[in-house]
Structure 1
Amino acid sequence: MTASTPVSTPFSRESTAMEVVRGIDLTGRRAVVTGGASGIGVETARALAAAGAEVTLAVRNPDAGQRAAADITDTTGNDRILVAPLDLADQSSVAGFVRTWDGPLHILVDNAGIMASPEMRTPQGWEMQFATNHLGHFALAAGLHRALAAAGGARVVSVSSAAHLRSPVVFDDIHFTRRPYDPWEAYGQSKTANVLFAVELTRRWADDGVTSNALMPGAIRTNLQRYISEEELNRMRAQSGGGAAYWKSTEQGAATSVLVATSPLLDGIGGRYFEDCQEAGPNQPGTRTGYAPYARDPEAAERLWTVSEETLRA
């Protein structure tokens, strides 16, 4: 497969995470899933566990994590499900997680996030969606770089969204200090950052055997929408032309994450964008599918990496 050949798989938007991972053996592999206590995170973790991986649920609420871990063990028979506290908006929490990690890491699923929240800021003054969805995961991956490199062929899964089509990364005012805060623009910017992160990580770390791809999981009813009214959700569904088929189940929503994390078809491939278990092409005007060219722009990806490092050092 050449660098320009799109990845095609036998799966679709109806496929589930368990279907995608069937026949794949992850025995001896170690995975981390952020936000692994609920929604598509727990179904991603369940599929990885079913394939034999040791899975660490990196979660804000360890009690919820323990309940999820017990449920995963009950349904898969895999008792190698661990729970570790992680608050992506708190850099000391990220550093604490990194300090306690020992040994190789084969799969890092950057799944946790917040969507369209009211304006909130971290103690550093960072806009909360960018801080959580991008900077937290950036710091986590950077801190685990040695563990990923030690694994040989490690993958970092960057869960983005079609909402990235709403906004590029606005480098002149990432944290909305001068422009009016808009929850959807802030979310879209953070999801563009997720794609750019995958592009630049692959460029920088491919020689270490580490690659990253980004994905749109689909529309799934989860706690992610806790800041969005039912009226707004209905409006979004209408705009997308979605009826009953608009929403995926959580098992279907986790499928593309699991595909990107495990499929042999992606060995050595990174910096790409997937949706409905297929590699997506560029967005076409008037549609909500595919990637925005600015989200895979190598200059923007390199700039974001540099800005992220500088932000975390400040």
Structure 2
Amino acid sequence: MANQRVNTPFDARSTAAEVVSGVDLSGRRAVVTGAAGGIGVETARALARAGAEVTIAVRNIEAGQRVADELAAGAGRVTAASLDLADLDSVRAFVRGWQGPLHILINNAGVMAPPLTRTRQGWELQFATNHLGHFALATGLHDALATAGDARVVALSSRGHLTAPVDFDDINFERRPYDPWVAYGQSKTANVLFAVEADRRWAGEGIRANAVHPGAILDSNLTRYMSQEDVEAAALSGEEFKSPEQGAATSVLVATWPGLAGVGGRYFEDCDEASLNQPGTNRGVAAYALDPEAAEQLWRASLDLLGEA
């Protein structure tokens, strides 16, 4: 499949339950970040019903425990653990607490278009949460993923990545004016670049990484910083919106579908590998998000930022 674009039997209308139907995940362990609501819940539910032991890693542990209890009642082994991706101490504590192999890591959590906010380290919140926190988590769990021998990492990006590449000269908006949507786009490009470089570095250890665009889902905590006018404009834009069950489908597909064994470093949307974006359209993946040189540069920059912290 080196040069062949992947197509699957599923599409934009497919649900997470449909794409994992017939897949046995017994004995496999999964972590899903941000699974206290929205598509994260449906992602965890589908994995658990297929037999996986699922840990939902959440900032609000009380909400996460309620979700874990609900899912465990109907779908097997689901536990909640505390994880604040904007707090490196929290990420490190989660990593220290993990024991044994990890077969599936789904970097689902995210924040979208808040007012300019900085973490304790001075990092812009969207880049810190959407990329750096997940980068620290994945690299911290590398040995657990390698121990699994057949692990998959899924980075949730967004069509928003088409808004902006990573500005390596001013990642944290210290000199350029802050635009919440440019910052969001940059962080979502970083998610794709992470998958490209993680796959290059780790494929030989049996760890494959891919990025996904889940689709537009208005029933999501991700929209909490959007004004009512923004929400209404999105609803009138002609965008086809998905239910949370449909929004979780591409993540679950990339994490579990047997036909994707050995596939990595790619970007999927609507349950298929995306083609390159064409100017004037809002589909596909930007060439800059798949650029191997930018992917390696981001990896080095991320290590530097974490090292400084």
1:284 aligned to which of 275, 278, 281: 278
167, 185, 188: which one aligns with 1:188: 185
* Pairwise CA distance, 1:234: 2.4
What secondary structure is seen at the aligned counterpart in 2 of 1:24? coil
Which residue number corresponds to residue 26 of structure 1?
A: 25
Structure 1 position 112 matched with structure 2 position 109:
yes
When normalised by structure 2's length, the TM-score is: 0.98
Residue number in structure 1 paired with 2:230: 232
Provide TM-score, normalisation by structure 1. 0.96
Over aligned residues, Cα RMSD in angstroms? 0.8
User: 1-side partners of 2:150 and 2:4: how far apart?
Assistant: 20
2:73 alignment partner in structure 1: 74
Tell me how far 1:36 sits from its aligned partner: 1.1
Is 1:247–2:245 an aligned residue pair?
no
Partner of 1:59: 58
Q: How does 1:1-314 map to 2 (within 5 A)?
A: 2-76=1-75, 78=76, 80-221=77-218, 222-239=220-237, 241-242=238-239, 246-314=240-308
- Secondary structure (helix, strand or coil) at the match of 1:171 reads coil
CA distance in 2: counterparts of 1:64 and 1:236, whole angstroms: 28
Structure 1: unaligned runs, 5 residues or longer: none
Deviations 1:262-314 (A, max 9, x none): 01111111110000111100001111110000000000000000000000000
Task: Give the AA of the match of 2:78.
Answer: I
Quote the Cα distance in structure 2 between the aligned partners of 1:271 and 1:160.
13
One-letter code of the match for 2:158? S
Provide Cα deviations, 1:60-87, integer angstroms capped at 9, x if missing partner: 11111111011112332x1x11111000
* CA–CA separation in structure 1 for the residues paired with 2:259 and 2:162: 27
Supply the distance in 1 between the matched residues of 2:118 and 2:173 (Cα, whole angstroms).
Answer: 10
Say whether the 8 Å CA contact 1:36–1:42 is kept in structure 2. yes
Amino acid corresponding to residue 228 of structure 1 in structure 2: M
What are the Cα deviations for residues 73-110 of structure 1, in whole angstroms up to 9, with x where unaligned? Answer: 2332x1x1111100000000000000000000000000
